[in-house]
Amino acid sequence: MKRWTLLWPAVIILSALVAGLVNFVIPGAAGQPIIVMWFLFVCPGMVLVRFFRLSEPVSEWTLAIALSLAIDAIVAGIQMYAGLWSPQATLAILIGFCLVGAIAQIAQLEIQKIKRRTHGSSQYRVS
């Protein structure tokens, strides 16, 4: 169970780092569009959805895609209307958001693990 709960935070962290790599370090690398689109269309939403504990793959994926698109557009839109249009900065904000969210999720899992050990209860188990 532990292994699966850590899967998404790991995927999100990895995706964020690779998206940053192909944009800021080696722009124009092969696979940049696929990596970036995967990150932008799934990760910002999934990092939120994992906190909701929905435990239903179809619902999670659906919500993750919709929220990702909304978050991407709203962050980029705010920057544009503020006269600060910069796709690279928007991407950096989203990478930061995902990293913070994923790390918070890992921390939450660790706290729950400690609580379970302390109380010997399974009521905090995260699916």
Q: Can you give the binding site for other proteins, defined by CB under 8 A?
A: 22-23, 27-28, 32-33, 36-37, 40, 48, 51-53, 56-59, 61-63, 65-67, 69-74, 76-77, 80, 83, 85-88, 90-91
**C-beta of 14 vs 84, nearer to other proteins:** 84
State the nearest-atom distance from the C-beta of 32 to other proteins, in Å: 5
For residue 21, with 0-12 CB atoms within 10 Å meaning exposed, 13-18 middle and 19 or more buried, which class applies? Answer: middle
Choose among 67, 33, 32: nearest CA to 47.
Answer: 67
Q: At what angle do helices 7-20 and 87-119 cross, to 10 degrees?
A: 160
DSSP per-residue string spanning 37-60: HHHHHHHHHHHHHHHH----HHHH
**C-beta of 13 vs 50, nearer to other proteins:** 50
Judge contact between 98 and 75, C-beta under 8 A.
Answer: no
Choose among 3, 1, 24, 6: nearest CA to 96.
Answer: 24
State the nearest-atom distance from the C-beta of 126 to other proteins, in Å: 13
